[in-house]
Amino acid sequence: MNIYCISGLGADKRAFNNLTNHNLIHIEWLKPTKNESLSYYSLRLSEQINRKEPFIILGLSFGGVVACEMAKFLKPEKVILLSSITNKKHLPLIFKIIGSTGIHKIIPASWMSPPMSLAYWFFGVKKIENKQLLKEILDDTDKAFLKWAIGRLLSKEDIVAPENLIRIHGTNDKLLPLRDDAAIKIEDGGHFMVIEQADEVSEELNKLF
């Protein structure tokens, strides 16, 4: 079974480095066009998926939102979300305030990177080697893409959760807090649990795969 994984906002395939026993195929982010909708962008990304064979889509954080969008026009066996949301009502209050004021539209893309000490706290990263990995990922992030993706996340475009959806979420996620009991829970898992608690996440994925 092909397992296509989509990394998170400001992340890349290195976010999945610590997962074990999985043959993952990484979806590469594309450069969005100006004012491109999430729906059309997801359609372009889906060209990387071989639809002739059964497949699963695994989406991390913002990648989970994209995975839900892809499921509207693809037929995956399962859609699995890690540290993600299925409803924009579940975004933290600060995100909603930013979205309602539109301040994200006027902030220069170069200002989009948070101080690393704050990033470590929000992502729940404690191990030294994982802090280094997160720093490298954020340093390499395309800031223009980051601004576009935040705009799409804060837009009025709805998230439609597919029927074959499975969620895995950390109980201590500060960036996208767990809002309900529908998810498989990783105790004390933060937003970067895919790296920080990879063994536990891998165990749950093994059960699903």
CA-closest candidate to residue 184, choices 164, 166, 163? 166
Question: What pLDDT shows up at residue 109?
Answer: 45
Are the CB atoms for 108 and 179 separated by under 8 Å?
no
CA-closest candidate to residue 183, choices 195, 201, 197? 201
Q: What dotted CATH number matches 2-208?
A: 3.40.50.1820
| Full-model pTM | 0.86
Which stretches in the chain have pLDDT values below 70?
10, 21-22, 92-115
pLDDT digits (tens, 9 = 90+) for 103-117: 545 454 444 566 688
Question: What pLDDT shows up at residue 98?
Answer: 53
Question: What pLDDT shows up at residue 108?
Answer: 40
| Concatenated DSSP letters of 34-68 | TT--HHHHHHHHGGGS-TTS-EEEEEETHHHHHHH
* Domain ranges for the chain: 2-208
